[in-house]
Amino acid sequence: MPKRTDIHTILLIGSGPIVIGQACEFDYSGTQAAKTLKELGYRVVLINSNPATIMTDPEFADRTYIEPITEDVIAKIIKQEKVDAILPTMGGQTALNVAMSMHDKGMLEGIEFLGAKPDAIKKGEDRHLFNEAMVKIGMDLPKSANAYSVEEALKVAKEIGFPVISRASFTLAGGGSGVAYNMEEFKELAKTGIEASPINEIEIMESMLGWKEYEMEVIRDREDNCIIVCSIENFDPMGVHTGDSITVAPALTLTDKEYQKMRDASFKILREIGVDTGGSNVQFSINPDTGRMIVIEMNPRVSRSSALASKATGYPIAKVATLLAVGYTLDEITNDITGTPASFEPVIDYIVTKIPRFTFEKFPNANSTLTTGMKSVGEVMSMGRTFKESFQKALCSLETGLTGFKSIDCDADMLVHEIRRPNAERMLYVYEALKRGMSVDEVYELSKIDKWFLYQFEEMVATQKSMDVTMLTDAQRLRIAKSEGFSDAMIADIINKKDGLSLSENDIYNAREKVGVTLEYNEVDTCAAEFKALTPYLYSTTNITKLPKAEVPASDDKKVLVIGGGPNRIGQGIEFDYCCVHAAFALEDMGIKSIMYNCNPETVSTDYDTSDILYFEPIDFEHVRSVIELEKPDGVIVHFGGQTPLKLAKNLTAIGAKISGTSAKVIDLAEDREQFSTFIHELGLKQPDNGTAFAKDEAMAIANRIGYPVLVRPSFVLGGRGMRTVYNDTELRTYMDEAVSVSNDAPVLIDKFLDSAIELDVDAICDGKDVYIGSVMQHIEEAGIHSGDSACSLPPVSISEELQEQVKEQTAQIALGLGVIGLLNIQYAIHRGDIYLIEVNPRASRTVPFVSKATGVPLAKVATRVMLQGDLREALRYYDTFNVVNFDKKIMEPNLKGHVAVKEAVFPFNKLPGSDLILGPEMKSTGEVMGISDSFGMSFAKSQFASKNYIPPQGKLFISLTEIDKPYAGEIGKMFVDLGFEIVATSGTHTALEQAGVPSTQVLKISEGRPNIDDMIKNGEIALAINTSDNKSSKDDAKTIRQSVLSNNVAYFTTIAAARATALAVKELRDSGGELNPRALQDYLR
């Protein structure tokens, strides 16, 4: 049947900010869905609070709402847009939960659910109903029961027997869930789980720890045709959240009979749950000794695994699911890659490995043991012709400094401990153990990682041990090592250690070239070469068979390589992928062939139809170089993928690659402190006093010269990794000991810390003659908090026109002076009326998507055009859809249309037990949201609602301030009292308020007895918390209060500046009667 004509307007719900468990895979699925629906002629209305997504670009939907994803807002949108149907299965758990909640409350009457009906969603998501359904169709399930109180939970656990798994109902990525081995541990877990669950429900289950874990990606159409797109096997056995597990595709340790049993079960489950159309994911566990198969769960929606399965096979699950949702059947859809029908099952002739990316280094107190609650922030995928090649390529893709299996320096006890304990680097310990001669059986007993994988590791160890310098002239030995995925850098390292040499990665490359062992490229074609692939989606391999070099057909087409940002991590996320995608779009606009290069399966950039050619490869010199040598692109864009590709600029220039736009030399100048300082002084601009230290003594000398406090950080990092504010010699000494070990001989940068300064962020584009100021943004939090973690306002709220003009002048001076061609981001601090330059980045910044959305000028596209055609004015004219650009001013800028956009950061604290929610110079946020309205207060309110920090219009306010902030107690207190809030405060702050004449009630600190503030928070008496106390002044008390606030969903703020903004927000909320009025982006920009 063709598409449905009885529906006209479809609401697509996005997944909101990037958080642990919901990353850019839902931008990928949502973008595919929006695009598909639009092509079919439906009117698409989109809601997503995340401005860094491609789907929220104004051209992807007819009406784009960058608004908080709340029930009230959605209800309003449905009404004002006359929505007929909603598609809630593309925006992760966020979209599904809000749609279901609205359905349950009767807020969606007359609105049809596309994809999965509410009953099916409920059956799939509710453990009771799901288990019932599974029993009905004869599926084996683990023993389990639900509990609603700790007492009840303890009883259940006793019956089932330890270890048990506890799972909180209706939470994302297993929040509040875990494994317990004893009663004591379980009690704690049950408590957290019941609190985390919105319905205070936990499920307690028989543990299948150590069992094998599988996932099946299933698609069903309305005619009940079902297919498996991909089977996925977890390298880590049961006990680790599948998002945190290393996974491979296809499943490798099942016979056909076992695999088909799982396939049959998947279909049976989909049918019973009643998922009408679209993609679902079913997870199974198999006892390795008996083959007993148990259903773990199913997701009646597109998931992170669907994104992986799509990228792994080339089969576009989200697109197909969207077509099915509006009436098509599988056999009516064409597989774009081969031109054959989509009603088949993809097969692959390579092995796919996914390895998650963690950032525990940013949360030193968080527990780094992997359990059933997801903790990773991103992932990489790689493809190779064998498991070995695929796995080692994945290690290279991670960008954690690995070039393969690095040696681990630890004692035998530690080794055993780290193999037994699931952790981010367990695979390295396993390899190390095998290298030291531990048997596969021993490692298996400790880890329960299937022996098949361990055999592969053992064989790689054998290859490694056979390597020495003589292999460099032996084509066959090189070929074997390379085909097992050993990188050039790794081979150099192994030979150096063995033969005491100092070979470089380049030496290995040269040796290979000499004997003709090079990387070759295979297509990802959904069909293992049975049919010809129409879309060039490629991965590299070293062929085991020496074949004559394939002729690359010469073409006159101009082509440009865009290097992506790799795995999502804190500091480098979806914002950079957004820029890379825009680069590809802009290249298409110029008629230039785009070549995308990335290794992150969650992204839009790695969608096969984003670019003309796609390379799914590790972003390291060896692999990038090989693609450049093959494709010989007319330009290489390294400026959009964050620090990852930027780092390669120098080496790529050295091999003759043509870097488009800003040159490697300029990039280097901006990164080199000494050179840059000289440059700044020549321009007559101010910088905080600073220095670069290569050793501890040097650092101390510099710090004492410029005076404490100082800001210290290693050079060449993104997201403020390792950055800290240091107040005295002792702190600095400690830091230097840690930092130098962190950054391998790279120097440490020391800057004077400007206290209470206001930070500004500027994004600009330069073509060498003209400059366009994308925007000046004012940070809400004061200098000292990482810009990525700070909320910011566009336009600035409290900076004079004059200062702003000066900032624009300086930006233009720097851009032209440096010789930037393309994007540039500068951070300034306004300190006592003076402008200081904090940082200059000659590349796309994290704020580019936010600015593009808020102003309507797509900065990354304009920049790409400038980088290739060199004419900024022309590029701006080309992309100025909304007539925003003021071409009359010498330094061009957007004419803002009266609205204010606020960006707010979103943090992972609730996903990382043990971590503290205090902000500092090191970035900790995983994502961002945007609030937009006609006033700063309302935009700030929207940004808070979007990040689930629901500002109350009235109620009790709890204030606790640090000594430094106490002078502001009166000002803050008065603002809220005037707004009708009642204030409670702990002794010190209470006194400060009293002195300022602001009434407040004193409450006990936790350490002072009971009832105390913690009790009040838990009893739901506190509506809003302002808590600026840091760990220095009140240590554990402050941390406990913050965690209590977090787990009880009390709105909270941790800085004076944010408190001020909150007061403005409250005022606006009171004026609007608590309503957030959604308005489409298209209307703001028009």
Partner 1 sequence: MQKVSLYLENGILLEALSFGAEGTSVGEIVFNTSLTGYQEIVSDPSYAGQFVTFTMPEIGNVGCNEQDMESKNAHCKGIIVRNYQTRPSNFRSEETLDTLLKREGVMGITNIDTRYITKILRDEGSMMMIASTEVHDKEELRSILESSPRIEDINYIEQVSTKESYIHQDGNYDCINFVYEKPETTKKIIALDFGIKRNILNQLTGAGMQVEVVPNKTSAESIISRFEAKDIDGVFLSNGPGDPLILKEEHELIRQLIAAKVPMFGICLGHQLLSISHGYDTFKLKFGHHGGNHPVKNIVSGAVEITAQNHNYNVPDNITEVATVTHMNLFDNTIEGLRYNDSPIMSVQHHPESSPGPHESAYIFTEFAAML
Sequence length of the chain is: 1086
Question: Minimum distance between the CB of residue 142 and partner 1, rounded to whole angstroms?
Answer: 16
Q: Does 207 bind partner 1 (CB under 8 A)?
A: no
Find the shortest distance in angstroms from Cβ 80 to partner 1.
Answer: 41
Selected from 148, 531, 708, 727, the binder of partner 1 by CB under 8 A is: 531
* Cβ nearer to partner 1, comparing 309 with 780: 309
Return the ∠ at Cα 623 (arms to 621 and 626), rounded to 5°. Answer: 100
Please tell me whether residue 387 binds partner 1 under the rule CB under 8 A: yes
Selected from 119, 132, 151, 331, the binder of partner 1 by CB under 8 A is 331
Tell the smallest beta-carbon distance from residue 383 to partner 1 (Å). Answer: 11
Q: Between 218 and 1022, name the residue whose CB sits nearer to partner 1.
A: 218
By the rule CB under 8 A, 333 interacts with partner 1: no
Rule CB under 8 A: say whether 549 interacts with partner 1: no
Of the candidates 9, 101, 200, 225, which one interacts with partner 1 according to CB under 8 A? 225
Please give the DSSP secondary-structure letter assigned to residue 19: B
Verify binding: residue 545, partner 1, rule CB under 8 A.
yes
Q: Is 518 in the site for partner 1 (CB under 8 A)?
A: no
Pick the closer one to partner 1 by CB: 331 or 513: 331
164-168 and 178-180 beta bridge pairing: antiparallel
Taking CB under 8 A as the rule, does residue 343 contact partner 1? Answer: yes
For partner 1, which residue of 532, 733, 889, 1086 counts as binding (CB under 8 A)? 532
Candidate ranges 142-150, 424-432, 492-500, 525-533; the one touching partner 1 (CB under 8 A): 525-533
Q: How far is the CB of 235 from partner 1 (least distance, A)?
A: 13
Choose which of 9, 144, 368, 386 interacts with partner 1 (CB under 8 A).
Answer: 386
Q: How far is the CB of 463 from partner 1 (least distance, A)?
A: 13
Do residues 1085 and 58 make contact, with C-beta atoms less than 8 angstroms apart? yes
How far apart are alpha carbons 567 and 357 in whole angstroms? 7
The nearer residue to partner 1, 384 or 788, going by C-beta atoms, is: 384
Name the minimum Å distance from CB 125 to partner 1: 27
3-state secondary structure 1031-1051: HHHHHHHHHHHHHHHHHCCCE
Output the smallest distance, CB 33 to partner 1, in A. Answer: 23
Exactly one of 39, 59, 441, 530 binds partner 1 (CB under 8 A); that residue is: 530
Of the residues 58, 88, 237, 346, which one makes contact with partner 1 according to CB under 8 A: 346
The answer to the question of residue 441 lying near partner 1 (CB under 8 A) is: no
Residue linked to tokens 């037994």:
420
Cα(400)–Cα(419) distance, integer angstroms? 19
3-state secondary structure 394-456: HHHHCCCCCCCCCCCCCCHHHHHHHHHCCCCCHHHHHHHHHHCCCCHHHHHHHHCCCHHHHHH
Going by the DSSP 8-state scheme, the letter that residue 818 receives in this structure is H
Residue number with CB closer to partner 1 (130 or 267):
267
Nearer to partner 1, 214 or 585 (CB): 214
What is the DSSP secondary structure assignment for residue 968, as one 8-state letter? G
- Written as six digits, the tokens of 660 are 């488009």
CA–CA dist 252, 505 (Å, integer):
32
Please answer whether residues 74 and 14 qualify as being in contact, where contact means their C-beta atoms are separated by less than 8 angstroms.
no
Query: Which residues on neighbouring strands pair with residue 202, listed in sequence order?
Result: 147, 168
Shortest distance, position 522 Cβ to partner 1, whole Å: 6
Binding to partner 1 by residue 980, rule CB under 8 A? no
In whole angstroms, what is the distance from residue 85 CA to residue 8 CA? 8
CB of 394 to partner 1, least distance (A): 16
Q: Binding to partner 1 by residue 330, rule CB under 8 A?
A: yes
Which of 414, 529, 534, 655 lies at the binding interface for partner 1 (CB under 8 A)?
529
Q: Is 106 left (phi over 0), alpha (psi -120 to 50) or beta?
A: left
We find the least distance from the C-beta atom of residue 387 to partner 1, in angstroms, to be 6
Cis status of the peptide bond prior to 422, with omega within 30 of 0: no
In the complex, the smallest distance separating the C-beta of residue 513 from partner 1, rounded to whole angstroms, is: 20
Nearer to partner 1, 250 or 988 (CB): 250
Closer by beta carbon to partner 1, 257 or else 1010: 257
Q: Which stretch binds partner 1 (CB under 8 A): 74-82, 385-393, 582-590, 996-1004?
A: 385-393
Among residues 208 and 794, whose Cβ is nearest to partner 1? 208
Contact with partner 1 (CB under 8 A) among 2, 161, 198, 291: 291
Distance between CA atoms of 739 and 716, rounded to whole angstroms? 13
Distance of closest approach, residue 1 Cβ to partner 1, in angstroms: 10
Q: How far apart are CA 667 and CA 129, in angstroms?
A: 58
Neighbours of 623 (CB within 10 A): 23
Convert residues 249-268 into a mask of x (bound to partner 1 by CB under 8 A) and - (unbound).
Answer: -xxxxxxxxxxxx-xx--x-
Nearest one of 278, 231, 352 to 117, comparing CA atoms: 278
977 binds partner 1, rule: CB under 8 A = no
Q: Residue 824's beta-bridge partner residues?
A: 764
Q: Site map for partner 1, 475-514, x if CB under 8 A?
A: ----------------------------------------
Q: Work out how close the CB of 260 gets to partner 1 at its nearest, in angstroms, rounded to a whole number.
A: 6
Contact assessment for residue 645 and residue 619, using Cβ atoms and an 8 Å cutoff: yes
Q: How far is the CB of 276 from partner 1 (least distance, A)?
A: 16
Rounded to whole angstroms, the Cα distance separating 994 from 988 reads 10
At position 984, the amino acid (one-letter code) is: V
- In angstroms, rounded to a whole number, what is the distance separating the alpha carbons of residues 11 and 45? 5
| Residue 451 or 966 with smaller CB distance to partner 1 | 451
If the CB atoms of residues 478 and 906 are measured against partner 1, the closer one turns out to be 478
Quickly count: other Cβ atoms within 10 Å of residue 869's Cβ: 14
Closer to partner 1 by Cβ: residue 387 or 608: 387
Does residue number 345 form part of the binding site for partner 1 (CB under 8 A)?
A: yes
Q: Least distance from C-beta 1043 to partner 1, angstroms? A: 44
Cα-Cα-Cα-Cα dihedral of 381, 249, 24, 77, to 10°?
Answer: 170
455 binds partner 1 (CB under 8 A): yes
Peptide bond into 250 cis (omega under 30): yes
Q: Site mask, partner 1, residues 865-894, x = CB under 8 A? A: ------------------------------
Q: What is the maximal distance between C-alpha atoms in the chain?
A: 86
- Shortest distance, CB of residue 304 to partner 1, whole angstroms? 22
- Give the three-class secondary structure for 362: helix
Provide the pairing of β-strand 293-299 with 278-286. antiparallel
Q: What is the DSSP letter of 553?
A: P
Does the protein bind partner 1 through residue 727 (CB under 8 A)?
A: no
Instruction: State which amino acid sits at residue 210.
Output: G
Residue 260: how many other CB atoms lie within 10 Å: 11
Do 485 and 383 touch, CB atoms closer than 8 A?
A: no
Q: How far is the CB of 517 from partner 1 (least distance, A)?
A: 14
Instruction: Check residue 135 for interaction with partner 1 (CB under 8 A).
Output: no
Beta strands in 266-350 (DSSP E): 278-286, 293-299
Is 347 a binding residue for partner 1 by CB under 8 A? The answer is yes
Residues 353 and 485 sit within 8 Å (Cβ to Cβ): no
CA distances from 754 to 698, 777, 803, 832 (A): 21, 18, 18, 10
- Interface residues with partner 1 (CB under 8 A)? 140, 223-225, 227, 231, 250-261, 263-264, 267, 288-291, 293, 329-331, 340-341, 343-351, 385-387, 450-452, 455, 522, 527-532, 543-545, 547
